[in-house]
Structure 1
Amino acid sequence: MTDLLKPPIRYSTGLEQPQPDEAETVEQMEQSFDTILETTSKDYGKAVRAVHAKAHGILKGELTIHDNLPPELAQGLFAMPGTHPVVMRFSTNPGDILDDAIGLPRGLAWKVMDVDGDRLPGAEGRTQDFVMVNAPAFAAPTPQKFAGNLKLLARTTDKAEWAKKALSYVLRGAEAALEAVGTESTLLKTMGGSKNVHPLGETYFSATPFRHGAFVAKYQVVPVSPGLTALTDTVIDTSGRPNAIREDMQTSANKVRGEWEVRVQLLRDTDAQPIEDAATPWPEDVSPFVTVATIRTDPQDSWSADKVAEVDENLRFSVWTGLAAHQPLGGVNRVRKPIYDHSVEYRRRFNGCPIHEPV
């Protein structure tokens, strides 16, 4: 099959097509972020993230970059074999901290330490961030649609949780019906129609494209160790347990040795693999995911007080923190930089505490 694949396409600035109204879209998104941040900081007495506010677990481990990778894969962070410390934060997507009975998409943000090389604009430190969701497509194709989704999140932040639970129950039924006939709805899942699956058994995707050194790629993190794959598709019982996901993850992480493969999907066909449409998955028959590295974690407490203070309270995760060799691409990624910076600045200002990259 590999012989039939088109060759990978080299990165060039012409792959992106910025729209003239993106600055205006960013202003709209910052207004939505302000609504979310002002509401939640008033509720909690501190500023939390405008999206993915609720963490369910934090793991520390190591990323091992494989040797003997072909040249098109041995790019950027993955150019040199070796091992790096890594921290992983598992979350769900809203900006308010909700009862786990509301079924929401899972997120995984992971930060690689001791990364050397030319940095992206404004990227401090020696780290490389990856921000992922448990779906191959982003919830919105364009910055404008992304802004619309954020506006909806802002309008529903801090609104009757009992209603969100009821809506989630209905939407999960609707989503299950769609999946039964071989389709699905990213919107339904985002609004509360996701299955309440165990985060440690999920496969995570960057969903949006990035430079992969001289090439372009999307990224994937796949659980492969038996302790993790046993949790795949496991639905968590949230009855009367507002923090059920965190509790079950803590139980599992204390005894499970985790191993995930990091995989790369190279750009090979710009028609089948659009740069500017983040809601369209790249077909794996056009370009399969290929393993380039492995993340490993030992059994540990995934919700210890020191991890919560260090990672959940004092770190940021952004697709724009890292190497220039992994520049985020496409409209959704372009607007993420100013709005993520806006959210971090609000947290810093409200909490009176600077947010720095690990030294």
Structure 2
Amino acid sequence: MSDRLAITRLRYYPEVEKIEPDEPQTARDIAETMLSIAEKTYADSGHATRCVHAKSHGLLAARLEVLPDLSPELAQGIFANPQTYEAVVRLSTTPGDLLHDSISTPRGMALKVLDVQGARLPCAEGSISQDFVMVNGKTFNSASGKAFLRSLKMLALTTDHLERSKELISKVFKGVEAVIEAVGGESVMLKSLGGNPQTHILGDSFFTQLPLRHGDYIAKLAIVPASENLRALSGTRLDTGADPDIIRHEVQRFFAAETAVWHLQVQLCTDLNDMPVEGVDAWDEDKSPFITIAHIVAEPQPAWNEDRVQTVDDGMKFSPWNGVVAHRPLGSIMRLRKLAYEKSAAFRSQRNATAVTEPAHCPFA
């Protein structure tokens, strides 16, 4: 640990972000495209779901335990003091429509930490929670805001169409991705289009992919399996052929009797040339490794049921812009998604019986 802490960490200053003049229009285009996905699924089902990550696989009561004796660079923001927070965890997959699990897309973990202290981000003043939104890959799937918009438009065109074709394409992409990974590679694009390995979600690791403030510093975060029962599931493959909700059912089966523990880790920026704030690639872990600063614990519970769907899927939003200034999202992709998160939550809140609100405490702890 002492060698790791000898690395010089770069302090945050506003000029680390480079804002392009056309960002407001790109943000509006992204929000409009994402809403078109929600409008399509709402027209078909009569129920408003998220524009992306619509399908949940686990809705968990948890607690976040901040470790004691962290170095000053690590003890920042809500991690400044050793304490325990109530939390909510939502496990999901990325599409905006509710697909058969055989269409294997990237998975998400959204963490809502409750009753946090600190100056709030704009538009988050009415909340007392901190959200961290993560995906099971270290690299964001689009190289720029414009590329992200193009991929969203393609996703919008295929939303709720030709599910059987999606299954067949997913099968092909999973095969190609397996070949690439066998020789030590990875294709973020193939995974996003249905080639994600059909692993057990509780064995996956999750990453913010994009940077955020860590108090006085700049960081990316990760959540990785810590307990033996989670690590044993890492790389475990699921047979998704018969059961369209096999991921959810496996999560329910696990939490019927077992406790899960994850490490929450931070990777601090040491050099803007190698670890640019406006970039989307993974940062070099040899130059700055992920270091554990907290544990997330979820004890046995009903991991998914209709009451929790109404409470979390309908009644909560998860946005990196819901939080404190000390963990402000950084970089163009983060900035461009802010409006879309706001519009998506408002769309669901206006159309469903359960309005989107911010909880003070875990409603099913």
TM-score, normalising length: structure 1: 0.97
Of residues 46-55 and 224-233 in structure 1, the stretch that sits farther from structure 2 once superposed is 224-233
- Distance of 1:305 and 1:188 partners within structure 2: 33
Letter in 1 for 2:311: E
Aligned partner of 2:208 among 191, 198, 206 = 206
Q: Deviations over 1:80-112 (max 9, x none)?
A: 110000110000001011000111111000100
Aligned partner of 1:245 among 234, 244, 247 = 247
Structure 1 counterpart of 2:363: none
Give the CA deviation at 1:3: 6.6
Structure 2 counterpart of 1:113: 114
Letter in 2 for 1:164: K
- Distance of 1:187 and 1:85 partners within structure 2: 35
- Distance of 2:267 and 2:119 partners within structure 1: 23
Structure 1 counterpart of 2:131: 129
Letter in 2 for 1:173: G
Tell me, yes or no, if structure 1 residue 216 matches structure 2 residue 218. yes
Q: 1:74-153, aligned counterparts within 5 Å?
A: 74-123=75-124, 124-153=126-155
- Distance of 1:322 and 1:4 partners within structure 2: 27
The answer (yes or no) to whether the contact 1:5–1:286 under 8 Å persists in 2 is: no
Structure 2 counterpart of 1:310: 311
Structure 1 counterpart of 2:299: 298
SS in 2 for 1:86: strand
Tell me, yes or no, if structure 1 residue 49 matches structure 2 residue 16. no
The answer (yes or no) to whether the contact 1:120–1:322 under 8 Å persists in 2 is: yes
Of residues 321-330 and 251-260 in structure 1, the stretch that sits farther from structure 2 once superposed is 251-260
SS in 2 for 1:9: coil
Give the CA deviation at 1:350: 2.1
Structure 2 counterpart of 1:333: 334
- How many residue pairs end up in the alignment? 358
Unaligned runs of 5+ in 2: 361-365
Letter in 2 for 1:43: D
Aligned partner of 1:165 among 167, 183, 192 = 167
The answer (yes or no) to whether the contact 2:28–2:339 under 8 Å persists in 1 is: no
Give the CA deviation at 1:353: 4.4
SS in 1 for 2:317: coil
Structure 2 counterpart of 1:20: 21
Give the CA deviation at 1:352: 5.4
The 1:23/1:243 distance shift into structure 2, 3 A limit, reads same
- Distance of 1:14 and 1:187 partners within structure 2: 30
The answer (yes or no) to whether the contact 2:260–2:297 under 8 Å persists in 1 is: yes
Structure 1 counterpart of 2:279: 277
- Distance of 1:81 and 1:46 partners within structure 2: 41
The 1:3/1:337 distance shift into structure 2, 3 A limit, reads closer
Structure 2 counterpart of 1:231: 233
Letter in 2 for 1:38: E
The answer (yes or no) to whether the contact 1:228–1:256 under 8 Å persists in 2 is: no
The RMSD of aligned alpha carbons is 1.3
The answer (yes or no) to whether the contact 1:105–1:194 under 8 Å persists in 2 is: yes
Unaligned runs of 5+ in 1: none
Letter in 2 for 1:211: R
SS in 2 for 1:340: helix
- Distance of 1:351 and 1:42 partners within structure 2: 13
- Distance of 2:4 and 2:278 partners within structure 1: 28
- Distance of 2:296 and 2:102 partners within structure 1: 30
- Distance of 1:197 and 1:4 partners within structure 2: 34
- Distance of 2:152 and 2:63 partners within structure 1: 34
Tell me, yes or no, if structure 1 residue 345 matches structure 2 residue 349. no
SS in 2 for 1:219: strand
The answer (yes or no) to whether the contact 2:92–2:108 under 8 Å persists in 1 is: yes
Give the CA deviation at 1:240: 1.8
The 1:127/1:43 distance shift into structure 2, 3 A limit, reads same
- Distance of 1:247 and 1:3 partners within structure 2: 40
Q: Deviations over 1:114-171 (max 9, x none)?
A: 1011001011321000000000111112211111111111011011000000000000
Q: Deviations over 1:285-327 (max 9, x none)?
A: 0100111000111111111332222111210000000110000
Letter in 1 for 2:38: L
Q: 1:315-326, aligned counterparts within 5 Å?
A: 315-326=316-327
The answer (yes or no) to whether the contact 2:106–2:136 under 8 Å persists in 1 is: yes
- Distance of 1:304 and 1:96 partners within structure 2: 19
Identical-residue share of aligned pairs (%)? 43
SS in 1 for 2:11: coil
- Distance of 1:317 and 1:34 partners within structure 2: 16
Structure 1 counterpart of 2:185: 183
- Distance of 2:135 and 2:4 partners within structure 1: 31
